[in-house]
């Protein structure tokens, strides 16, 4: 299925009041609050994760319709392994089922799936479905959907430093060759634009070891809404808020200079 046409994208953005020149190229989301959503309703925590997975489908589809180039979702951190085993098992089952059930959505929306994080420790049932979804979507040409699964930004940065050190040791580059571009190319996100907008749900005011290098100049948007309650309208509000901000990247507001 072809990606949305420029006219279709422009119309979708105009409908939410955001012109092309103010629209973010890349969005990252920390999907928080699944467990608290379930607890408020007297439900087991895995039910919150299951509902959260349902919300992902709508948000991914809407992001693709709006012509977003990249969407990165923080799905499971390396620190999440400390959760109760029952919850971890349920989460991995949900991930595997999501990957199977959403392949049609991925293909229908011309989405390219990509994994961020460490493959080791992921159970085979989740890893095999992840690999299959990445494989079948590799020839698509639309939005990149990056799933940060068993991901930790400090670990990613350490691994990048090791890669560069190995290249220097092998004579493939010199220490003087290591600059910001070379370092970015050694990260999991090579080829993916840094997030313009970082959204966090459930009201927490922290980054939680997510894309520490990449969010250096991201605009942050925090909402008290739990992820299972997050809607397309909430996504639109975050984008509208972003569009009204003055991004100076260390400079000054030229209108007040």
User: Of the listed 80, 110, 209, 232, which one is catalytic?
Assistant: 80
From the candidates 7, 20, 32, 109, give the one annotated as an active-site residue: 32
Is 89 catalytic? The answer is no
Which of 75, 16, 85, 37 is CA-nearest to residue 244? 16
Sheet holding 112-116, edge to edge: 112-116, 144-151, 70-77, 26-30, 197-200, 219-222
* Cβ within 8 Å of residue 204, ≥6 positions away: 30, 32, 222
DSSP state of 196: S
Contact by Cβ (8 Å): 127, 119: yes
194 annotated active-site: no
Q: How many residues does the chain have?
A: 257
**Cα–Cα distance for residue pair 133/137, rounded to 1 Å:** 6
Active-site residue list: 32, 80
């Amino acid at each position: 299925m072809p990606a949305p046409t420029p006219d279709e994208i422009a119309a979708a953005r105009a409908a939410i009041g955001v012109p092309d020149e103010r629209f973010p190229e890349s969005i990252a989301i920390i999907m928080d609050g699944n467990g608290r959503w379930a607890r408020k309703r007297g439900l087991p925590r895995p039910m919150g994760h299951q509902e959260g997975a349902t919300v992902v489908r709508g948000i991914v589809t809407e992001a693709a319709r709006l012509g977003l180039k990249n969407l990165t979702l923080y799905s499971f951190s390396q620190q999440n392994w400390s959760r109760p085993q029952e919850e971890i098992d349920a989460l991995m089952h949900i991930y595997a089922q999501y990957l199977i059930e959403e392949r049609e959505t991925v293909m229908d929306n011309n989405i390219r799936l990509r994994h961020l994080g460490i493959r080791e420790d992921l159970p085979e049932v989740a890893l095999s479905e992840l690999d299959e979804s990445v494989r079948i979507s590799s020839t698509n040409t639309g939005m990149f959907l990056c799933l940060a699964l068993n991901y930790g930004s400090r670990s990613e940065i350490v691994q990048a430093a090791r890669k560069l050190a190995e290249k220097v040791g092998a004579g493939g580059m010199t220490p003087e060759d290591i600059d910001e571009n070379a370092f970015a190319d050694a990260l999991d996100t090579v080829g993916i634009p840094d997030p313009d907008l970082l959204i966090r749900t459930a009201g927490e005011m922290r980054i939680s070891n997510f894309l520490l290098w990449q969010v250096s100049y991201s605009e942050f948007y925090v909402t008290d809404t739990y992820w299972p309650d997050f809607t397309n309208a909430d996504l639109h509000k975050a984008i509208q808020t972003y569009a009204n901000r003055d991004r100076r990247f260390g400079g000054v507001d030229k209108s007040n200079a």
